[in-house]
Structure 1
């Protein structure tokens, strides 16, 4: 099974060696505690210090939530400050294995564990043993919990690993999900779920057969500002939604990265960044499209787009009459935004899809006078939020909000988008009457 991937090791050591934003939370917290302990010990009389130690030793271990409450610092008229972070104790957190050590894992996912309440990294899987050894030392992961792609199946013997987070090129999601489920682990898989409807269906079936959960990493569905937009749309705060405009473009490096290889990526801008336009539209409305129409084109003379498409423009029609116009591209300046147009107001997210620095603006006219509102960005780490949700689903035996069925539905629609562009005609989709038909239990919004 692994033979096809070993041939790609050279290309996939495309797991880039660039630096990453290292989380300092663990170091600062522990260093701070250490300095405080030295100061207290030197100040206390010996007898008091011994009594303090005896009391600590006699205290029963904490078994329930470790929530700490503090009195407010603000007057009732001022905005309320944040509550204490209150993470689980390390021995109560869900252990994650990270498969693939590229940009996303090193720059975003591993640092996000420092902001996670319920998850911790306990294992690594990579085709680059030297890089993996360095990362393991940086994050305190045991050498015995580091695996190659060939020895990945041995992860079944590691009781610390409860969830496998697959962060690999798209073509590898299918195989490593099947192998991970067979090893008896829950799966969190990056988007797009896979390269075909058939692969998605097999991933869902493998996890069901193993009795394990499968979640697709649609981080936008867990991010607070985007969840605010969903609530405004669903509550019809500005009346019925009439149309949406979605755009996600970026200008990629001129290199031989795996995203430019159809065998590895499955497609070009559509399954990578265009998927945000598709999935976010479905997330906001709760409806499923009944028709798609699309155009695909690439600019001439650009070697990056010999195998995959550069630009896709597609329109989604919904049962309520709403139309979402979406544009995505791999060769134009970075633009990651969308606007919801409703009867009495509009909601703009610009930017909407990056990992950090999101911005929302609402325009409406109560009493006939136009008004702008800009809610504060809570600044939550999107990867910590989705990993914590998966951890809670494991602990509480719940279906993830974005299960495999959600990824399968997007794959069906993307295949219809490609068909529409190829045949130069609209393509009908099966009607789905239920709202949020492919989602599980929604995450709890934090205050």
Structure 2
């Protein structure tokens, strides 16, 4: 497996919780295409035409509230291929040097930045200055300071900043959250998040400190960080962490191979998590309360997400994560819709503050307090 994209497998499919009636039309692409929608459509340009950008583009073909209308890439051949495949006009095509000119293009509402982590900060700020809504893939940046600068820039420009937290719309995940909020698990005691795969090509950007901002933590570990928050319904107040590195040639200074980290929460609940680029078969969340439990495995892959609780299997219809995400983003941008779990820049800064604290705990070997407010 050469990347997170390979590890997380093929097109995302998951389930719809019964309480999410408005999303029922996304049970499959046929139903989705038959839905009538006469509201405002979010017109999106994708920046970064790699494997995940391609996945998002494909998923958007089934959207009812969002449409792919533009591309930004440094590779002319990719631009031409996308133009042909998705019917994108020449006037909506840009490169990394001239994309500031989107400010003069009324046909683009938002730009989805799907480039290496280390580039998000500058690119999102440029998008904001061009007066367009910004969508950033996660992690939003390489540290909390840069993340806050992105939030501030978008606020100053009067545009919205959203982050590609597709799991925040995943129906089995939302059902677990609903059950927890309803008290069906009782007092939450413990969360476990395991995220990892064996990474391939040692020359790829994910193993480049400058481009990635780190190693496995910045790529796959963020799922356990974010998951610990929405699964428990609390924010961590301290962290301890330990790094293991077996291949110093592949995982150079500042590029983590494996980190185990532990959180403490205000209620007394604790979490034990693992982020790695050196082990396969790790994509599992487990939540334990004094009255019940929930397990998702796979928990964050593109699909199908599978889960069970003390009440039995979680069984809902199939959706494509990125299709639902982009349609939901349209509602957030145009109608100020409030998702069950936030997907805005402030949410992403919290994850970045936690990542900063994890790296500090690894470096010092000490328990580090976390302050998210």
- Residue 349 of structure 1 pairs with residue 288 of structure 2: no
Q: Which residue of 1 aligns with 2:146?
A: 199
Q: Could you tell me how far apart the structure 2 residues matched to 1:84 and 1:115 are?
A: 6
- Residue 247 of structure 1 pairs with residue 190 of structure 2: no
Q: Deviations over 1:102-139 (max 9, x none)?
A: 01011x20111122120000000001001111111101
- Residue 105 of structure 1 pairs with residue 53 of structure 2: yes
- Residue 183 of structure 1 pairs with residue 130 of structure 2: yes
Q: Which residue of 1 aligns with 2:92?
A: 145
Q: CA deviation at 1:399?
A: 6.3
Q: Could you tell me how far apart the structure 1 residues matched to 2:131 and 2:115 are?
A: 20
Q: CA deviation at 1:374?
A: 1.0
Q: Could you tell me how far apart the structure 1 residues matched to 2:36 and 2:282 are?
A: 35
Q: Could you tell me how far apart the structure 2 residues matched to 1:103 and 1:186 are?
A: 23
Secondary structure class of the residue paired with 1:332 = coil
- Residue 220 of structure 1 pairs with residue 167 of structure 2: yes
Q: Could you tell me how far apart the structure 2 residues matched to 1:211 and 1:278 are?
A: 29
Q: Is the 8 A contact 1:234 1:284 kept in 2?
A: no
RMSD of aligned C-alpha atoms? 2.4
Q: Could you tell me how far apart the structure 2 residues matched to 1:84 and 1:431 are?
A: 41
- Correspondent of 1:278 among 209, 225, 235: 225
Which segment drifts farther, 398-407 or 327-336? 398-407
Secondary structure class of the residue paired with 1:425 = coil
Q: Is the 8 A contact 1:351 1:358 kept in 2?
A: yes
Q: Which residue of 2 aligns with 1:160?
A: 107
Q: Is the 8 A contact 2:231 2:287 kept in 1?
A: no
- Residue 403 of structure 1 pairs with residue 350 of structure 2: no
- Please give the residue correspondences for 1:424-435 in structure 2 after superposition, counting only pairs within 5 Å: 424-430=365-371
- Correspondent of 1:374 among 313, 323, 328: 313
Q: Which residue of 1 aligns with 2:18?
A: none
- Residue 208 of structure 1 pairs with residue 155 of structure 2: yes
Q: Is the 8 A contact 1:165 1:189 kept in 2?
A: yes
Q: Deviations over 1:194-250 (max 9, x none)?
A: 012221111111111111001111111111111111111222203111101110011
Q: Is the 8 A contact 2:223 2:300 kept in 1?
A: yes
Q: CA deviation at 1:147?
A: 0.5
Q: Deviations over 1:24-76 (max 9, x none)?
A: xxxxxxxxxxxxxxxxxxxxxxxxxxxxxxxxxxxxxxxxxxx9xx9xxxxxx
Q: CA deviation at 1:339?
A: 0.8
Q: Which runs of 4+ in 1 moved over 3 A?
A: 81-85, 304-307, 397-400
Q: Could you tell me how far apart the structure 1 residues matched to 2:183 and 2:132 are?
A: 40
Q: Could you tell me how far apart the structure 1 residues matched to 2:153 and 2:253 are?
A: 34
Q: Could you tell me how far apart the structure 1 residues matched to 2:332 and 2:319 are?
A: 19
Q: Could you tell me how far apart the structure 1 residues matched to 2:220 and 2:32 are?
A: 35
Q: Is the 8 A contact 1:100 1:126 kept in 2?
A: yes
- Correspondent of 1:86 among 16, 29, 35: 35
Q: Could you tell me how far apart the structure 2 residues matched to 1:259 and 1:414 are?
A: 16
Which has the higher relative contact order, 1 or 2, with Cα contacts under 8 A spaced 6 or more apart? 2
Q: Which residue of 1 aligns with 2:259?
A: 312
- Please give the residue correspondences for 1:298-309 in structure 2 after superposition, counting only pairs within 5 Å: 298-300=245-247, 302-305=249-252, 307-309=254-256
Q: Could you tell me how far apart the structure 2 residues matched to 1:121 and 1:197 are?
A: 30
With the length of structure 2 as denominator, give the TM-score of the two structures: 0.88
Q: Which residue of 1 aligns with 2:333?
A: 394
Gap runs ≥5 in structure 1: 1-13, 23-66, 71-80, 365-372, 433-447
**Number of equivalenced pairs:** 349
Q: Is the 8 A contact 1:234 1:285 kept in 2?
A: no
Q: Is the 8 A contact 1:116 1:387 kept in 2?
A: yes
With the length of structure 1 as denominator, give the TM-score of the two structures: 0.74
Q: Is the 8 A contact 1:105 1:167 kept in 2?
A: yes
Q: Could you tell me how far apart the structure 2 residues matched to 1:261 and 1:126 are?
A: 20
Q: Could you tell me how far apart the structure 2 residues matched to 1:397 and 1:83 are?
A: 22
Distance 1:21 1:127, change over 3 A: farther
Distance 1:124 1:431, change over 3 A: closer
Secondary structure class of the residue paired with 1:405 = helix
- Correspondent of 1:422 among 347, 363, 366: 363
